[in-house]
């Protein structure tokens, strides 16, 4: 029995949800709003980061990278050619480089600004940092997104999937970030056709579908969000 502590619009949580879908894993989901700093969650993960995967009564895997590696180690071989982490050490290093790229750089320069300002702040109390969105941060995130879209296109032109020949965790994490921004209608798809074509292929996977059902209360998704032919 798996339990995932997550947030529907946390890109790291979304990455794990897509990966679990690929592995065919069901789970119980517990929503965490980390800005509330709930004591019981801090005891589970003092870093106060999402996601956390609980396995049975005693197993606990904390954080995105540890979860992805754990799932690959314990379930990867069962996927055969659909395994999301390559087996060659150099190919693995490239997938891991891209995980860092999206989860550190892309997140720090884009997702964090746009998702926090436009979504999370709606649910934060003033003392937790809530309030109106900071338009300077939104502008910075929007500007940085263009650089990242160019890099995704650069990779998509040269490779079958972002990390190499096969669909990998690099595609999962990149698409998870973009899916949050796509909900907001913030992705300039038409300016980056190769990135768009790559994303359409990820979006059409069954593992991606559950994400498209999530809604921010009081905030409808952009028209392109659920459309597979956006």
CA separation for the pair 174, 111 (Å, rounded):
11
133 backbone dihedrals φ, ψ, rounded to 5°: -65, 145
Phi, psi of 55 (to 5 degrees): -125, 115
Specify the residue, 53 or 184, whose C-beta has the smaller distance to a copy of itself.
Answer: 53
Question: CB 154 → a copy of itself: shortest distance, Å?
Answer: 9
- Residue 221 DSSP symbol: P
Q: How far is the CB of 74 from a copy of itself (least distance, A)?
A: 5
Omega before 51 within 30 of 0, i.e. cis: yes
Q: Which is nearer to a copy of itself, 58 or 213 (CB)?
A: 58
Nearer to a copy of itself, 75 or 201 (CB): 75
77 burial level (CB within 10 Å; 0-12, 13-18, 19+): exposed
2 is a site residue for a copy of itself (CB under 8 A): no
Among 224, 184, 188, which residue's Cα sits nearest to residue 203?
Answer: 224
- Tell me the sheet residues that pair with 3: 28, 54
42-101: which residues touch a copy of itself (CB under 8 A)?
46-47, 49, 59, 61-63, 65-67, 69-70, 73-74, 89-90, 92-93, 96-97, 100-101
Nearer of residues 61 and 115 to a copy of itself, judged by Cβ: 61
Minimal distance, residue 228 CB to a copy of itself, in Å: 31
Residue for token digits 């055969």?
A: 80
Q: Which residues bind a copy of itself (CB under 8 A)?
A: 46-47, 49, 59, 61-63, 65-67, 69-70, 73-74, 89-90, 92-93, 96-97, 100-101, 104-105, 151
């Amino acid at each position: 029995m798996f339990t995932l502590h997550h947030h529907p619009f946390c890109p790291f949580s979304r990455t794990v949800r897509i990966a679990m879908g690929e592995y065919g894993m069901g789970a119980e989901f517990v929503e965490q709003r980390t800005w509330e700093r709930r004591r019981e969650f801090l005891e589970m993960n003092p870093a106060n980061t999402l996601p956390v995967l609980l396995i049975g009564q005693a197993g606990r895997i904390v954080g995105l990278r540890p979860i992805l590696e754990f799932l690959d180690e314990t379930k990867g071989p069962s996927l055969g050619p659909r395994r999301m982490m390559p087996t060659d050490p150099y190919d693995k290093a490239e997938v891991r480089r891209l995980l860092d790229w999206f989860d550190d750089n892309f997140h720090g320069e884009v997702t964090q600004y746009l998702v926090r300002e436009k979504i999370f702040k709606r649910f934060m109390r003033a003392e937790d940092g809530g309030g109106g969105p900071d338009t300077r941060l939104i502008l910075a995130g929007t500007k940085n997104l263009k650089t990242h879209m160019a890099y995704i296109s650069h990779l998509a032109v040269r490779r079958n999937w972002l990390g190499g020949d096969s669909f990998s965790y690099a595609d999962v994490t990149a698409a998870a970030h973009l899916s949050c921004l796509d909900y907001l209608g913030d992705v300039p798809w038409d300016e980056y056709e190769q990135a768009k074509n790559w994303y359409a292929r990820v979006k059409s996977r069954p593992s991606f579908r559950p994400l498209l059902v999530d809604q921010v209360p009081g905030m409808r998704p952009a028209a392109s969000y659920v459309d597979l032919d956006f």
